[in-house]
Amino acid sequence: MEMEKFQYDNKIVRMFFWATVVWGVTAFLVGLTIALQIPAPVFNFGTPWLTFGRLRPLHTNAAIFAFVGNGIFMGYYYSAQRLLKARNFSDVLSKIHFWGWQGIIVSAALTLPAGLTTAKEYAELEWPIDIAIALIWVAWGVNMMGTILKRREKHLYVAIWFYIATFVTVAMLHIVNSLEVPVSFFKSYSIYAGVQDALVQWWYGHNAVAFFLTTPYLGLMYYFMPKAAQRPVYSYRLSIIHFWSLIFLYIWAGPHHLLYSSTPDWAQTLGTVFSIMLIAPSWGGMLNGLLTLRGAWDRVRQDPILKFMVVAVSAYGMSTFEGPMMSLKNYNAITHFTDYTIAHVHVGALGWNGLLTFGILYWLAPRLYNAKLYSVKLANVHFWLATLGMIFYVIPMYWTGITQALLWKQFSPEGLLVYPNFLETVLQLIPMYWTRAFGGTLYLTGALIMVYNLVKTARAGAPIPDPEIEAAPLKPIVAEAGEHKHRWLEARPVHFMILALVAVAIGGIVEFVPMFVVKSNIPTISTVTPYTPLELEGRDIYIKEGCFNCHSQMIRPFRSETERYGEYSKAGEFVYDHPFLWGSKRTGPDLHREGVGKLKKPDAWHYNHMENPRSMSPGSIMPVYPWLLENANDYATLPRKISVMRKLGVPYPEGYEDQALYDLKQQADGIVANLKESGIETSWDKEIIALIAYLQKLGTGLFPK
């Protein structure tokens, strides 16, 4: 048979290689910064751009989409060409993919600190960037499917299965969750409201973890681990079973982020049971990784690359066992809203994603630059710094989570909360926050040592030219007698992709359709009214400053919460909330009843508290927001906001656009007059006025003034 000659594209791999390194260090650095901001608010530097509420999304986006994202593409472009025996479908698409993705990251790094955010976790970027993400993602998908179709290898290897599933699922998740109506170039409102928005968001959020941080990395594991260990993969049939069960089951589990919330019970039940069933499929990947090392364990002792990989896969196993445990309602009642979740995700992020990436980087560097790794010793030092850093990070955070949950729930014999002041429960945790920051410092130091090691390695060698490869062209695909059914599928990539899409679409459809169609899921509350123009603008300031990163608006039906905050949150209260702002972590107290009952505070309290939280609650770790008192709000887009909201179903009367600013000023004047009584002189158009109006609105849906 005639052989075809072609070359692999190594340059694109090198480009993603260095992007992974640079963005990795950036993500760790921002992470360390926000870790310091918690015990020491001075690290917010009193400037809007660097406050925790704006930097925390920057950290998560940088870690997920910049560091891991580039890591995925680096590993994909190296492994897929070789597994398919074909150069990438289009070098132009590869370049568009690379520069497009970096452009998205840079625009995220500029817009998030500027306070431009949709408030949806891991999907904070505003609509123009959302469109860019969809386009670039599809560019990658086209490039991938094109390469697969012109491959010279009949069957698709398991790594490619995971890449295909990643592509179709993330495209689906991103597009459905990002549906929003623009108000201006930098502002949009989610088309979903309240409970529905929450369900869509956590369907996305949970599966971003699944299909951005897990499945593509399993693909990388299936290539780089047997390569590094030089051992055959343990079990082909395990690959098949855990692949399909994983992608099918994962999608359903999203509502486990909403346990004991206002989400209907049936959705919560689905979230719990599908999480339980995920244990074995997740562990299937870990097993196939670890058992592949049979006969190579002696080398694990010497080879830092294998060490990184072994700890990474073990961390994957731990966090995928812990996830289902946290999905049990009784355990979730303790862990949710606390640092326990933060610890959990960092076992995955620092351990699984971080260490596997490091292992791959060390494996690739000599191969991309035709030189020996500059220092195996430094790689070993990095391994220990990263592992210890992870331990110093997660153990204090587990401790913190459990401690704080118990403090929140503790009652005195008289039936009163022992720690009625939320702040008291925070102050107990400060030493642990410092320990976490220490762990982060170790991890970052290790990464910097890696940068040095990789740069030295690259300098010692030179970029290897694209290798000349010979392979026979693919023969026409015909079914073979007695062929395993899955072998049949592996030879048909389009069928494969469609089947994968069907597998991941089912869970979402089954959960969404009843939630959007059956009215009883969200019982109407007659006293819930739309936000007034001033409250709406205040809500947008709340979103802009990222208040939801530390304050939940979801009081769970526990005595310890209703005693502290007031009546628990009801689904019907959120019907005008585009987007929902339930939050996922309580670094500060819940705010859902901030405007009613025993939590209600005078306007002047809020004014002074925003200027300096420590003047009103000594020891508070909240950042200062003096600019809210200075900045005049720009109400130019108000009419547009009203009409967008009306389109989304909020019952503002026709023509209210013209009335809105007048009403806004009336309400603002009332607050200004209130403040004046307490000796505070300000004017109606300041941002603080709108924010106060919004805070005073919270909770009034159930308890009208």
Partner 1 sequence: MGKITNELIEHDYDGIQEYDNDLPGWWKALFIITIIVAAIYVPYYHFFGDSQETEYQKEMGTYVEANTGRGPFTEYASPWVGDGEITPALRAEMNKILDAPFDEQLMRTMAKADPDQLAKLQTAFPEVIAAYGAGASSSPESVLVKKEETPATAPAAGMVALTDEASLAAGKKVWETQCFTCHLNDGGGSIGPNMTDNYWIHGGDMASIVHIIKVGVPAKGMIPWEATLTPDQIMQVASYIEVKLVGSTPAVPKAPQGDLFEG
- Distance in Å, CB of 90 to partner 1, minimum: 21
- Residue whose C-alpha is closest to residue 367's, from 689, 13, 605, 6: 13
Distance CA(447)–CA(354), nearest Å, equals: 10
Binding flag, residue 244, partner 1 (CB under 8 A): no
* Cis-peptide, bond into residue 579, ω within 30° of zero: yes
Query: Which region, judged by CB under 8 A, interacts with partner 1, from 80-88, 90-98, 517-525, 575-583?
Result: 80-88
Alpha-carbon torsion (124, 107, 72, 450), positive or negative: negative
Rounded least distance, CB 28 to partner 1, Å: 31
The residues in 612-641 that bind partner 1, with binding defined as CB under 8 A, are 615-617
647 binds partner 1, rule: CB under 8 A: no
Instruction: Look at the chain and count its residues.
Output: 705
- Alpha-carbon distance 75 to 97, whole Å? 14
Q: Applying CB under 8 A, which part among 25-33, 227-235, 505-513, 527-535 lies near partner 1?
A: 227-235
Hey, which residues between 139 and 158 contact partner 1 (CB under 8 A)?
Answer: 153, 155, 157
From 23-31, 181-189, 437-445, 556-564, span contacting partner 1 (CB under 8 A): 556-564
- Binder among 90, 107, 245, 445 for partner 1 (CB under 8 A): 245
Please give the Cα distance from 304 to 247 (Å, whole number): 31
Q: What is the DSSP string of 71-94?
A: HHHHHHHHHHHHHHTS--S-HHHH
Cα separation, 670 vs 696, in Å, equals 13
Among 37, 61, 70, 79, binds partner 1 (CB under 8 A): 79
Site pattern 7..46 for partner 1 (x: CB under 8 A): ----------------------------------------
In SS3 terms, 411-466 reads as: ECCCCCECCCCHHHHHHCCHHHHHHHHHHHHHHHHHHHHHHHHHHHHHHHCCCCCC
The yes or no reply on residue 492 touching partner 1 (CB under 8 A) is: no
Q: Considering the complex, what minimum distance in angstroms separates the CB of residue 315 from partner 1?
A: 19
* 269 is a contact residue toward partner 1 (CB under 8 A): yes
Q: Are 47 and 110 in contact (CB under 8 A)?
A: no
CA distance 139 to 207: 21
Whole-angstrom CA distances from 432 to 315, 373, 437, 495 are 22, 37, 9, 51
Residue 417 touching partner 1 (CB under 8 A): yes
4 binds partner 1 (CB under 8 A): no
CB of 560 to partner 1, least distance (A): 9
598 Cβ partners below 8 Å, 6+ apart? 566
Under the binding rule (CB under 8 A), the answer on residue 103 touching partner 1 is: no
Instruction: State whether residue 45 is helix, strand or coil.
Output: coil
Give yes or no for residue 416 binding partner 1 (CB under 8 A). yes
Separation of alpha carbons 695 and 592, rounded Å: 9
Shortest distance, position 1 Cβ to partner 1, whole Å: 18
Does 274 contact partner 1 by CB under 8 A? yes
In the complex, least distance from residue 226 CB atom to partner 1, rounded to whole angstroms: 5
The C-alpha torsion from 533 through 534 and 536 to 537, rounded to 10°, is 120
Question: Under the criterion CB under 8 A, does residue 235 sit at the interface with partner 1?
Answer: yes
Give the C-alpha separation, 93 to 202, whole Å: 31
Which of the ranges 180-188, 267-275, 458-466, 585-593 carries the binding residues for partner 1, by CB under 8 A?
Answer: 267-275
Closest CB to partner 1 among 153 and 535? 153
Determine, following the binding rule CB under 8 A, whether residue 485 of this chain makes contact with partner 1: no
Does position 126 interact with partner 1 (CB under 8 A)? The reply is: no
In sequence order, what DSSP letters do the residues of 349-367 get, joined into one string? IIIIIIIHHHHHHHHHHHH
Q: Which is nearer to partner 1, 346 or 606 (CB)?
A: 606
Considering only residues 283, 331, 399, 656, which one is a binding residue for partner 1 as defined by CB under 8 A? 283
Q: What's the DSSP call for residue 479?
A: P
Instruction: Give whichever of 41 and 389 is closer to partner 1, judged by the CB atom.
Output: 41
Q: Which of residues 291-330 bind partner 1 (CB under 8 A)?
A: 291
By CB under 8 A, name the one of 52, 73, 192, 223 that touches partner 1: 223
Neighbours of 413 (CB within 10 A): 6
> Pattern of binders to partner 1 over 664-683, x per CB under 8 A?
--------------xx----
Query: Is residue 559 close enough to count as binding partner 1 by CB under 8 A?
Result: yes
501 with 251: CB under 8 angstroms?
no
Judged by the rule CB under 8 A, the positions of this chain that interact with partner 1 are 79, 82-83, 85, 153, 155, 157, 223, 226-227, 232-239, 241, 245, 260, 265-266, 268-269, 272-274, 276-281, 283-284, 287, 291, 412-417, 420-421, 557-559, 562-564, 568, 596-605, 608, 615-617, 678-679, 705
